[in-house]
């Protein structure tokens, strides 16, 4: 690892977002040649945006010029700042101009500036977002427009709200509102904390919009209301400024990467649009629904010099085509105007796809407005430095005006690019205000018409769900997005399907039908399309293990139903089959609703048992894993009733306890393990544990290194996915240079609020840590490794018989696949149906070596192809014929599927095999136990997303329980806690934890894998 990559947390995922990739690839220290001078091009004289009645602030203007490295990196829109004797420019409040080298501004100072601005100018107002950040900081919203406009802000909000819901407005009224209304143009800064320029730029933009008196700016103020979110990820911004200040105070030292951005999530904070687990996303959604902006414009920094979003395609197939046209329209306007002005490196297409709606700006795209973004060139701080542009400097069909290959770049250059571009877009929207409002209205109308036009008519979420709490949460998420949900008054019958009263209905004749449809529908991503930028499948029902039905028959809309006016809520209850109060105990069906795990920890002092098999009480069926609680005085009944009511669980009081075999349910001491190289994916685990009130200790790889008796402290250690090889994970940041603190200090006050701190981030768990983990497992602990982290127990020999295969053909990026339980006796499978939809992203492909080498499968740990016969007469299934010799009896076909760990294996071990294998034969109880496999049928494998080379994935193990000593290593190929979207698979983790000391239940005989068998009919012709 070189110095460069230390600037950022390494994020070696299957698809690294380019905005991180670019920064990682920077060769920051290597430059010495100044950028080759190019002929200066003045802005053409016919671009007349520069007739002003206000004088320039000469001092500020001089500094803009000084801090811009080349004249062609500024435009006449931003090469000066107008003077005001009433309204403070940023330097008056901050002490430095926007884009000053080596200066980054904390959020409190950004906010102070906007509040001073609002105090001095009637053209500016400041509002506070509904929720505070996870660190407790406020997020603000700034509005800029004409004085008269802002005085009537509520009127303009009412107009866009009416246009957003054409059911409530006549055509005549709508047209009059389009004439009267203003378009809201919403700019949001720095969701990605190492992308530092936009929070600075937006201050100057607000000032310029408030003060400048050119026709160009006046037009914006007149027809547009500009909304500014100064910094979206407030917590990450402040930690980034800390880090930058640390770097400046410690020149020549290695600097840590920004290991924590927000409390939970780093770079993926803009991938929360489908889960809304973060306060910032919920704030954005609420703000959209309050203002209905025509455009939401995110400011990112990665590729040079200004990429304006459209994407490579495939584009999201649920959007109105008008939206996609609008992306192109705005992008080409900016490219055209900036190219005319001689600005190099302004381009579109060729970056990001436009497919997945998980992006935060789907609060706009998914709601009939326009969500777009810039990538400008950032320096991950505020340094001025020589930069190399490796890839994007090539001219291409979509980039006739490429960036230069070598450039001296400053934060002021970045500010100039962002501000010039967004001003051009705002001016264009101002001059075409009615067009954009009209389009918004048409798109809203067409969303309402969806049910009767392209369909479907509705989605039904049946009331007879095994997981009512998750179903309700899914409905509430849709409601949070402004989607209307109804409840059926009585049974709905559609053709031969019946849905009981109480079923939820999401009608497609409503304004936000598109967002609901794209979330509930299934996705198909053609593998011949450009490489996806992120997930390719996201269907909400399967990921949450909630049944949904897509209904095309419009009759569903006529069913009697009532609009939900508050969140859906499942109230649990405690019931008795008879009136007797003398219950022997209580039973709770294991339905994998996640609140069942909450219950275990809430009543941690109550002894609970898990049934090892399904059972019945009266007519009622209970799944394996159901909770059985012995009566223990009146207090228990009340506690159970209170908890069940709140958690949406049904408790049944029974007069006699079921006679099923049980084991005690643990209250495990759980640790969630993180490294000091990357926290990208583990935060999504912490979010769920916090939300479900499941206690855990947050430990680092260094704690693992430094704790030689982990078993004394923890029962279960969960290691969420990280990426990288086993070696890179174990080694961590190299022990070079000085200690690298991530800690609160006078210079870095905001690091104190981080989830973890250390005096020195260097050095991972090391081999000592691996040995401590091995000891932990040997002594009875359960170590849960997700995705690529399974390479640690595999490569370092903690486990045996499991390997990771390199896929040759498989393409399965961020998709949803069908899996099936193959060992229903394993506690990990408790509560589930036979099949489960799981999220899987390309790797790892596990292979479990058979206990007995299977002829043709390449011996222990090898091969995997089908058994084949020698080349000879006939067909694949014909017996081989040796010429001129007596014919032996046909070779017996390989032991039919001695699937690893199955009971069958030991029974069928011949004396010959026992001799051959000797000590290498692994007894049954020590064999890896495959609990869940990808569907064996390649054709039914894909639920949503992309799949090619599915034969490699079909039947591959998804969840493996490997006994080690008296403990277990549990390996997941799927990621069961992904971006608050995979609620359906959370309980795989909870089951493993709650039953960590009872995982050695008797094994089930797995179903045989089909093999080609000779058919007698083929033997003779």
Q: Interface residues with Zn ion (CB under 5 A)?
A: 19, 192, 195, 300
Task: Name the strands in the sheet holding 458-461, side by side, starting at the edge strand that comes first in the sequence.
Answer: 549-551, 458-461, 504-507, 486-488, 561-563
Cβ density class 422-444: b for 16+ within 10 Å, e for less: bbbbbbbbbebbebbbbbbbbbb
Which CB atom, from 300 or from 825, has the smaller least distance to Zn ion? 300
Q: Whole-number minimum distance, CB 183 to Zn ion, in Å?
A: 25
Q: Are 299 and 373 in contact, with CB atoms under 8 Å apart?
A: yes
Q: Using alpha carbons, select from 998, 591, 567 the residue that is nearest to residue 782.
A: 998
- Pick between residue 300 and residue 705 the one whose CB is nearest to Zn ion: 300
Output the smallest distance, CB 189 to Zn ion, in A: 11
Nearer to Zn ion, 195 or 952 (CB): 195
Q: Which of 208, 276, 57, 263 is nearest to 750 (CA)?
A: 263
* Nearest-approach distance from CB 771 to Zn ion, in angstroms: 39
Please tell me the distance from the alpha carbon of residue 96 to that of residue 805, in angstroms, as a whole number: 56
Tell whether omega for the bond before 663 is within 30 degrees of 0, i.e. cis: no
Chain centroid to Cα 460, Å, comes to 26
Choose between 532 and 844: whose C-beta lies nearer to Zn ion: 532
* C-alpha to C-alpha distance for 614 and 260, rounded to whole angstroms: 44
Q: Rounded distance, CA 650 to CA 577, Å? A: 13
Nearer to Zn ion, 124 or 280 (CB): 280
Whole-angstrom distance, CA of residue 397 vs CA of residue 349: 9
Question: Using an 8 Å Cβ cutoff, are 274 and 252 in contact?
Answer: no
DSSP per residue, 775-844: HHHHTT-EEEEEGGGGHHHHHTTSS-SEEEEPPSS-B--SEEEEEEES-TTSGGGTT--SEEEEEE-S--
Q: At closest approach, how far in Å is the CB of 377 from Zn ion?
A: 12
Joined tokens for residue 315: 């584009």
Least Å distance, CB 418 to Zn ion, is 13
Give the nearer residue to Zn ion in terms of CB position, either 189 or 788: 189
From the list 389, 448, 434, 383, the residue with the least C-alpha distance to 413 is 383
Q: Compare residues 346 and 430 and give the one whose CB is closer to Zn ion.
A: 346
* Closest approach of Zn ion to the CB of residue 17, in Å: 7
Read out DSSP for 455-496? ---EEEE-S--S-HHHHHHHHHHHHHTT---EEESS-EEETT
> With respect to Zn ion, which residue has the nearer C-beta, 232 or 836?
232
- Rounded CA-CA distance 233/114 in Å is 17
Q: How far is the CB of 429 from Zn ion (least distance, A)?
A: 23
Rounded least distance, CB 378 to Zn ion, Å: 9
Q: How far is the CB of 294 from Zn ion (least distance, A)?
A: 23
How far apart are alpha carbons 421 and 399 in whole angstroms? 17
For residues 19 and 258, which CB has a smaller minimum distance to Zn ion in the complex? 19
C-alpha distances (whole Å) from 361 to each of 124, 365, 367, 374, 540 are: 24, 6, 10, 12, 18
Query: 59-92: buried (b, 16+ CB within 10 Å) or exposed (e) per residue?
Result: ebbebbeebbbbebbbbbbbbbbbbbeebbbbbb
Q: Shortest gap between Cβ of 652 and Zn ion (angstroms)?
A: 51
The least CB distance from residue 523 to Zn ion, in Å, is 24
Half-sphere exposure of 954 (CA within 13 A, CB side): 15
Residue 635: count of CB within 10 angstroms of its CB: 9
Burial 594-604 (b: 16+ CB within 10 A, else e): bbbbbbbbbbe
Output the smallest distance, CB 353 to Zn ion, in A: 15
Nearest to 380 by CA among 94, 757, 755, 5: 5
Residues 612, 419: Cα–Cα separation, whole Å: 64
Please state, in angstroms and rounded to a whole number, the distance separating the CA atoms of residues 328 and 188.
Answer: 20
Please identify, using beta-carbon distances, which residue of 197 and 900 lies nearer to Zn ion. Answer: 197
Which CB, 192 or 686, lies closer to Zn ion?
Answer: 192
Residues 6+ apart with CB under 8 A from 176: none
Indicate the residue among 162 and 300 with the shorter CB distance to Zn ion: 300
Question: Of the two residues 245 and 376, which places its CB atom closer to Zn ion in the complex?
Answer: 376
CB of 298 to Zn ion, least distance (A): 8
Count of beta carbons in the 10 Å neighbourhood of residue 543 = 26
Query: Minimal distance in Å, beta carbon 195 to Zn ion?
Result: 5
Q: Which is nearer to Zn ion, 221 or 267 (CB)?
A: 267
In the complex with Zn ion, which residue's Cβ is closer, 300 or 979?
A: 300
Closer residue to Zn ion (CB): 357 or 928: 357
Taking the C-alpha atoms of residue 723 and residue 733, their distance in angstroms, rounded to an integer, is 14
Q: Counting Cβ atoms within 10 Å, is residue 4 exposed (0-12), middle (13-18) or buried (19+)?
A: middle
Closest approach of Zn ion to the CB of residue 413, in Å: 18
Closer Cβ to Zn ion, 19 or 240, answer by number: 19
Sign of CA pseudo-dihedral 741, 746, 747, 748: positive
In this structure, how many other beta carbons lie within 10 angstroms of the beta carbon of residue 251? Answer: 7
Q: How far is the CB of 354 from Zn ion (least distance, A)?
A: 16
In the complex, minimum distance from the CB of residue 534 to Zn ion, in angstroms, rounded to a whole number: 12
| DSSP 8-state secondary structure symbol assigned to residue 524 | B
If the CB atoms of residues 23 and 597 are measured against Zn ion, the closer one turns out to be 23
Tell me the closest approach of the beta carbon of residue 299 to Zn ion, in angstroms. 9
d(CA 942, CA 951): 12
Query: Which residues lie across from 697 on neighbouring strands?
Result: 671
């Amino acid at each position: 690892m070189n110095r460069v990559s230390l600037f950022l947390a390494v994020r070696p995922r299957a698809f690294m977002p380019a905005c991180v990739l670019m920064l990682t690839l920077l060769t920051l220290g290597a430059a010495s040649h100044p950028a080759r001078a190019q002929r200066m091009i003045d802005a053409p004289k016919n671009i007349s945006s520069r007739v002003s009645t206000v004088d320039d602030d000469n001092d500020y203007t001089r500094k803009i010029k000084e801090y811009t490295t080349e004249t062609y990196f500024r435009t006449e829109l931003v090469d000066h700042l107008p003077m005001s004797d009433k309204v403070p420019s940023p330097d008056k409040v901050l002490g430095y101009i926007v884009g000053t080298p080596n200066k980054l501004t904390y959020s409190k100072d950004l906010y102070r500036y906007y509040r001073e601005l609002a105090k001095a100018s009637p053209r500016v107002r400041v509002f506070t977002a509904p929720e505070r950040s996870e660190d407790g900081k406020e997020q603000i919203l700034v509005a800029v427009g004409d004085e008269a406009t802002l005085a009537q802000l509520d009127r303009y909000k009412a107009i866009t709200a009416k246009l957003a819901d054409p059911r409530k407005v006549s055509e005549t009224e709508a047209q009059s509102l389009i004439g009267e209304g203003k378009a809201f143009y919403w700019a949001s800064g720095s969701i990605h904390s190492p992308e530092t320029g936009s929070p600075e730029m937006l201050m100057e933009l607000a000032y310029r919009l408030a003060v400048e008196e050119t026709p160009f700016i006046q037009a914006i103020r007149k027809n547009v209301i500009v909304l500014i979110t100064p910094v979206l990820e407030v917590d990450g911004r402040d930690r980034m400024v800390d880090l930058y200040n640390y770097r400046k105070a410690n020149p020549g030292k290695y600097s840590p990467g920004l290991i924590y951005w927000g409390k939970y999530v780093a770079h993926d904070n803009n991938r929360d649009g489908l889960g809304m687990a973060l306060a910032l996303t919920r704030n954005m959604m609420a703000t959209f629904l309050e203002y209905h902006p025509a455009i939401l414009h995110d400011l990112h920094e990665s590729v040079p010099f200004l990429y304006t979003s459209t994407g490579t395609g495939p584009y999201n197939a649920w959007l109105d085509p008008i939206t996609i046209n609008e992306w192109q329209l705005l992008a080409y306007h900016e490219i055209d105007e900036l190219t005319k002005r001689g600005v190099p490196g302004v381009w579109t297409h060729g970056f990001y796809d436009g497919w997945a709606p998980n992006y935060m700006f789907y609060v706009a795209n998914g709601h009939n407005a326009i969500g777009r973004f810039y990538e400008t060139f950032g320096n991950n701080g505020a340094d001025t430095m020589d930069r190399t542009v490796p890839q994007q400097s090539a001219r291409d069909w979509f980039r006739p005006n490429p960036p230069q290959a070598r450039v001296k770049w400053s934060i002021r250059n970045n500010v100039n690019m962002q501000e010039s571009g967004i001003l051009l877009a705002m001016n264009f929207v101002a001059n075409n205000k009615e067009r954009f409002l009209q389009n918004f209205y048409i798109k809203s109308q067409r969303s309402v018409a969806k049910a009767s036009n392209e369909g479907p008519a509705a989605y039904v979420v049946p009331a007879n769900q095994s997981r009512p709490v998750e179903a309700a949460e899914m409905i509430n998420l849709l409601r949070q997005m402004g989607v209307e949900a109804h409840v059926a008054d009585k049974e709905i019958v559609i053709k031969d399907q019946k849905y009981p009263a109480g079923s939820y209905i999401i009608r497609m004749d409503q304004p936000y039908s598109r967002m609901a449809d794209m979330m509930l529908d299934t996705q198909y991503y053609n593998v011949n399309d450009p490489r996806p930028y992120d997930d390719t499948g996201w269907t909400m029902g399967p990921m949450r293990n909630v049944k949904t039905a897509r209904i095309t028959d419009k009759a569903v809309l006529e069913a009697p139903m009532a609009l939900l006016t508050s969140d859906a809520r499942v109230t649990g209850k405690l019931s008795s089959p008879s009136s007797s109060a003398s219950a022997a105990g209580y039973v709770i069906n294991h339905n994998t609703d996640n609140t069942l795990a909450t219950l275990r920890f809430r009543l941690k002092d109550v002894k609970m048992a898990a049934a090892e098999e399904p059972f019945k009480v009266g007519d009622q069926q209970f799944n394996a894993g159901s909770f059985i609680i012995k009566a223990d005085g009146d207090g228990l009944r009340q506690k159970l009733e209170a908890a069940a009511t709140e958690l949406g669980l049904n408790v049944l009081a029974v007069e006699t306890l079921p006679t099923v075999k049980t084991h005690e349910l643990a209250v495990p001491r759980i640790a969630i393990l993180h490294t000091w190289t990357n926290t990208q994916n583990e935060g999504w685990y912490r979010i769920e544990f916090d939300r479900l009130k499941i206690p855990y200790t947050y430990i680092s790889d260094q704690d693992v290194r430094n704790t030689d008796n982990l078993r004394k402290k923890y029962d279960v250690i969960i290691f969420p996915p990280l990426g990288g090889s086993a070696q890179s994970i174990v080694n961590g940041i190299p022990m070079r240079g000085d200690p690298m603190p991530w800690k609160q200090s006078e210079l870095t006050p905001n690091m104190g609020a981080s989830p973890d701190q250390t005096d020195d981030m260097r050095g991972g768990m090391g081999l000592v840590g691996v040995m401590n983990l091995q000891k932990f497992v040997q002594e009875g602990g359960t170590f849960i490794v997700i995705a690529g982290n399974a390479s640690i127990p595999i490569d370092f020999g903690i486990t045996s018989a499991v390997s990771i295969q390199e896929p040759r053909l498989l393409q399965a990026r961020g998709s949803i696949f069908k899996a099936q339980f193959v060992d229903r006796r394993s506690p990990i499978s408790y509560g589930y149906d036979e099949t489960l939809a799981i999220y899987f992203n390309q790797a790892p492909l596990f292979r479990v070596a058979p206990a007995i080498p299977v002829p043709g499968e390449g011996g222990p740990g090898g091969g995997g192809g089908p058994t084949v016969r020698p080349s000879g007469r006939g067909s694949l299934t014909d017996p081989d014929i040796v010429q001129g010799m007596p014919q032996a009896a046909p070779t017996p076909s390989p032991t039919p599927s001695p699937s690893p760990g199955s009971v069958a294996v030991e029974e069928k071990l011949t004396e010959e095999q026992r001799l051959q294998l000797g000590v290498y034969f692994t007894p049954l109880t020590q064999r890896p136990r495959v609990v869940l496999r990808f569907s064996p049928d390649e054709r039914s494998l894909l639920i949503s997303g992309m799949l090619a080379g599915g034969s490699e994935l079909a039947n591959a193990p998804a969840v493996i329980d490997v006994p080690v000593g008296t403990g277990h290593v549990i390996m997941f190929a799927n990621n069961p806690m992904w971006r608050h979207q995979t609620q359906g698979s959370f309980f795989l983790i909870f089951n493993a934890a709650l039953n960590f000391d009872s995982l050695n239940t008797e094994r089930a005989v797995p179903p045989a894998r089909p093999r080609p068998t000779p058919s007698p009919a083929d033997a003779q012709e």
